[in-house]
Structure formats: C-alpha cells, structure tokens
Chains A and B, each alone.
Chain A
Amino acid sequence: MRNLKHLLFTLIIGLLVLGLFCPGVYAKKNVVTIGFTGPLSGPAAQYGQDNVAGLEMAIQDINSAGGITVDGKKYTFKLKTYDDHIDPTAAVNNARRLRSRDGARVIFNPVFNTLAPLMQVNQQRGSEFLLMAYTSAPEVDEMKNPNTIGVPPPFSVYVGAYVKYAMDKGWKKCAMVVTLGAYGDGWRKEFKEAWIKAGGEITADQPANYYTETDFSAQLSAALATKPEFMLIGGPSATTALVIEQARNLGFKGGFVMVDQAKINYIAEVGFSGDLNKVNNVMGVCRPLDTAPKELMAPFVERYKRDYGRVATSENTLNYSAMKMIAAAMEAAGSVEDIQAIKAGFSKILPMDPKVNLMPYFGIQDSRLIIAGSVQKVENGQYTQPMATVWWTKTKADFEKAVSKMTDIGAVNVHVPLEGYAR
C-alpha cells in the first residue's frame, strides 16, 4: 500500500515535471504570438510602454471581433513582451527566446540601437522572423533587410518639411540643442546639411543628454548668445518641455522645430498642464488627433487616456495600425507563419479603410511603410492646420495622383521628394 502511494506520488510529480518541459501542453490552439522587445524599465520606459500599448489595443480589437481567418481556420492573437533596456545583447536574446520558445514570427522593436543587431539575426535559416521596426532612422532602409518593415516615416521627411517651413518664414539663423546618441546625431547631421544647402546658417550646435540631464541652461545660454531666429531641439517629450521652458525663461522669443521623437501634444499636456500658450511658435510632428479622420481618432485618443491614463502619441497610433495591418496581411497571405508572404501581403492590402487600421498608410516600398509625414505648429494658443509631406513621389503628376488616393485628414499636402526614396 505504501509502495503504491509512493509510486503514485512519483508518477504525478514526474508528469508535472514533464509538463513543465513541453510548453505545447499549455498552448491553446490557433493563437498567434506577436513578440515585442524594447525598453520597459529605466529612462526610456515610457517610450517602450507606449509602443506596447498600441499593440495591446489592436490585439484587443482584433480578438474581440473574432480574430482572423486563414485557410479556413480561426486565429486569435496574443502579445508577449520582454524588457531589453536598449541593450543589444538582451534584445537579441529576447528575440531568440520569442522566436524559439514562444513561437513568434513577428517581433516588434522600437529603438535603432537594438534594431541594427536584430537585423543581423532575423534571417538565420530556421529561425527567421519579421522585424517590425518602429524607428525613423533612415539607416534601416539602407541595410536592405528583406525581413524588416519600418513603421513610421524616415525622419528625413521632417527635415525636409522643417527646412521648407523655416525658409518660407524667412529665417536664416538656426541653433541646435538636440539629444545625444545615434538618433540625435543623425538628426543634427541631416538637418545641418539640408539647412546649409538651402542657404541657412547654423550658429550653434550644443547637443545635450536628454535622458540623464534636466537642466539645459549651460547649452541654451551658449546657443542663445549667438542670437538664433529659431532652434532645432528635441529628444524625449518630457525633457523637451523643459528645454522650451528654460529657453523662454532665458528670454528666447524665436521659433522651435522639434525632432520627431518629441511630441507636441504630450509636451503641452504634461509639461505645461495643457496650457497651449506655453508652446506658441513651436513646430513638431502632428498630434495624433489630426493624423487620421477625426471621427475615428477622437475615440481612440479618449480610450487611450481612459485605459492607460496617458496622452496618446504616434507610438500608440502607428503601432496600433501596424498590428491591424499585420492581421490583414496574414489573411491576404493565407499564412500566419510564412513571413515573406506576410510581408508581400502588405502591398495587397494597402491602402486600407481607415475604419480598420486607423492611420492613413498609403503603401509599402522595400522595407518601409509609406505614410505622409505630418507636421504642425501651435500659434496663439491653438493647433494650426497640419502640413502633410508627400515624400515618396518624384514627379508632380505622381504627387497629385497620390494625393487623390490618400485619405483626407484635413491637412495641406505638400510635395517634398526625398532623395533615395522618391520614385
């Protein structure tokens, strides 16, 4: 009797241990895992979590509508996230784990510093994955990685838009106080080249670490001493708000243009408790509310505020849209695993009805999704009409053709062909 009990006990424990080693036991049928690796703690935590939030909302919507149907089978989605603190080694390990243990074929990552190493491993035979790159760094396109899709427009689009805006204003002298790091360095270099080429002058270049510093008086005093008419600033939104405030307190009356990482609506809401007069004469990437048809975007912004208690930014809206497009592309491809087919699916489904994917994505070109780059400024305490830059067409005729097909979001469409992209 005692022996029997013993045997039974061993058997049960043995079964449990066995169970631990086969994750298949837990996996529900027909669930597609979407992976995410990115900063979820540390100085860039908010950025990472904003990205995740967009994906979560999209998956919630897809699943509650019954999931997708591929090859006659129903599938739902689940999101698996890992923290990498922007450490390249951790990011690669996370991606490998997501691919092999969680079975994710699509993995999101939002930082160029970790995307570059991920692009080294996403083509390894037998463990390929589709890398959804939420970065505006144009280097992603130069790497010509077939298993990558860039989600936001390349930041060069905004460089072009700002140069046009500042030239139209008649400004000549620009000072730069931009965030340090690969991303900020890229911005400084491109903007400087484009501005000088257009006939402008850079009077000061005083980069600052927006992640570790909170006082920019040293840089700003030095920059303002050169009497610039406008300044290129920006990094994470919260710190960018401090830069604006400190520059104004030091007596700067000119204009600001901001790198695409800084979000004008976030700065106004969080940095200045909603007082738009504090961001007068500041131009940046368009606030989410004006980047898609209002009747669709207003409820989204509301919902984000309600569910996450934060201000919506393009990290939520673009990732939300990207996730929706992945689901549609899988249906179009007839596969949830063949990543090349899924990628090819994007060109079949775009442009989509914004009722489904919210953002007015236009198409896909190589490894980059195409969407107009909208910028906007605040004047007299009010958001002005956005300026949507069409950058992927070369000729005027193609530009007009594109505009006629684009979802109308009430913006002024301008044509700024981007070298290396416009065809």
Chain B
Amino acid sequence: MELFLQQLFNGVMFGSTYAIVALGLTLVMGILNIPNFAHGHLYMLGGYITYFFINNLGIGYWGSLLLSLVVLGFAGVLLERIVFRPLNGQPHINAFIAAIGALIFLESLALVVWGPQGMRIPNPHPQIFQVLGITMEAQRLLVIVGAAVLIILLHLFLKKTTTGTTIEAVAQNREGAMLTGINVNRVSSMTFFISSATAAVAASFLSPIFILSPAMGAVLGMKAFIIVILGGLGSVPGAIIGGYFLGLIEALGGGYISAEYKDVFAFGALILVLAVKPTGLFGKQEG
C-alpha cells in the first residue's frame, strides 16, 4: 500500500509537469496548426534562464521564476516572429523543417553558452514530509500545487477574458476570426508568449530537483507530443488529462512491472487510444 501511494505521488507530480508543458504545446498547435517541435527545447532554455538569474545574478528563487517566465515568453514571441510567421500560408512541411531547425539551434546555443556539463539549481525547499508512510519532498509538492494553480489560471484566462477568447476564436476558425476584426498575428504572438511562459514555469519548478543539461528538452518535448496526440490535437482539456494520465502510467507501470518498459507503456497507451479513437481522447472530428 505504501509503495502504491508513493508511486501515485510520483505519478501525479510527473503528470503535473507533463500537463503544463503539453498545454503550451497544444495552444500553439490549435492556433497555428503547426507542431512546434522546439517546445521541449524552450522548456530547457527556461531552466537555464532561471539558473542564470539565481546563480549569476543572485536573485531569489521566486524572483528568478518570474523573470524567467517573462524572458522566455519574449523568446517565444521572437521565435514566432522570426521562424514561423514568414512561413504563414506556405506548405506545412516548411514550418516542420523550421521547427526542427529551431530545436537544433536552441540545443547548440545552450551547449555553447553553458557547456555540456550538468548544472544544478540549489533546492529552495529541501524539507521532507512523511505522510501516511510516504515520503514527500516540499519541492515536489510545490510542483503539484503550482501546476494545478497555473492550469486553473490559464483556464480562467481562456474562458473568462476577452483576450483569452480571441485565442479560442482563432483556434476554431482563423478566417472567421479575421473577419470579426481579430488581429490574428497579435494572437499568434500572444499564444507563443503564454506557451513559452508555461514551459519556463515547468522548468523552474523542476530544475531544483533535477539537473539541467542541453539535451533535457528533447525527451520532455517528445512526451509532450505523445500527450497532445493522446488528448486530441489542439485540445486543452485533452492535454491536461493526457498529462496526468501519462505520468500515472509511467509511475505505476514503471514501479510495478518494470522500469525498462516505461516507454513501452506510454507509447502502448498512445497506440491503443489512436486505434480506438483516431482523433485522440478529446479531439474534434475532421471537417
């Protein structure tokens, strides 16, 4: 029972990160209809930016998190402006290639600036709690709570504010949104800002428990893609539920059956869902 609860706790923590990273990815997907392969690498960059503020400028953890959120948000805007916007209206394959180019650029950039060695952000909340026989690190609890708060805030923003609803409008029908006078380019920039900023938050939450390395974005980026496809392309609830789902599958499958097959479970679930419901759990029907 203790082992089960411990694995459950780990699964929820991982699911939280997956959910926020996938959320950013699915927003961009919905708006621009392009898979931003570089999303995981933006996450990596967010971790390094937080590291920079904490270690080089000596700013506190929470201050660094906020600064990292803003800086990476603008990095995302820049990426959209330079890489993706010029390709608007061109065949999709061009945006695909551009995204892969951006990914290689970001990883090499981190390699040149920070070097290949792993780096650590000192853990700001090293306390450990014992509840019901399971071990909870404060920082991991923070990831769970923080992610939930972020998801709720984002939901309120998308549903209750005018600016937020423009994002949904563009996602639903780009031409229609244009006709009603929505500045589609501005919405694109804004979406990239939000998408990158959430990635920065996820990276800042996780980096005190883990280690920063230039290659860390690739793995998470791929998982985010699994989740987005699992949940339905462009679907916000799909990304959230898919995120928690994947986190739990990995933790329970990995803990009880074998960690060697952890990825087999994740991809197996993906294949299964796609076989039964090709549009993903919450995907819209084509056409």
Contact = CB atoms under 8 A, between A and B. Distances in A.
A381 interface: no
Interface stretch (B68-76, B116-124, B180-188, B233-241): B116-124
Contacts of A225: 3
A249 B134 CA distance: 11
A167 to B, nearest CB: 28
Contacts, number: 97
B193 interface: no
Given A41-B107, A270-B118, A217 B259 contact: no
B108 A41 contact: yes
Interface string B205-223: 0100111011110010000
Interface stretch (A42-50, A157-165, A412-420): A42-50
Interface in B243-275: 250-251, 254-256, 258-260, 262
Given A46-B118, A238-B118, A218 B215 contact: no
Contacts of B279: none
B14 interface: yes
B213 A242 contact: no
A215 B120 contact: no
A217 B118 contact: no
Nearest to B6: A221
B259 A250 contact: no
A217 B14 CA distance: 11
Contact of A217 (B10, B111, B215, B260): B10
Contacts of A242: 209-211
Interface residues of B, number: 37
Contacts of A45: 111, 116, 214-215
Contacts of A310: 115, 117
Nearest to B207: A214
B137 interface: yes
B152 interface: no
Name which of A42, A214, A309 has the most chain B CB atoms within 10 A of its CB: A214
Contacts of A180: 260
B172 interface: no
Contacts of A273: 120, 122
Nearest to A212: B219
B255 A238 contact: no
Contacts of B116: 41, 45-46, 48-49
Interface in A274-312: 309-310
A46 B115 CA distance: 8
Nearest to B206: A214
A213 B216 CA distance: 9
B215 A42 contact: yes
Interface in B129-162: 135, 137
Interface in A121-142: none
Contact of B210 (A214, A219, A237): A214
Contact of B120 (A213, A249, A270): A270
Contacts of B118: 46, 236-239, 270-271
Contacts of B3: 221-222, 225
Nearest to A211: B215
A41 B209 CA distance: 24
B259 A241 contact: no
B255 A221 contact: yes
B7 interface: yes
A319 B128 CA distance: 42
Interface in A201-247: 206-209, 212-215, 217-219, 221-222, 225, 236-239, 241-242
Contact of B135 (A46, A212, A215, A250): A250
A251 B135 CA distance: 8
A213 B107 CA distance: 18
A309 B258 CA distance: 39
Interface of A: 41-43, 45-46, 48-49, 180, 206-209, 212-215, 217-219, 221-222, 225, 236-239, 241-242, 249-251, 270-271, 273, 309-310
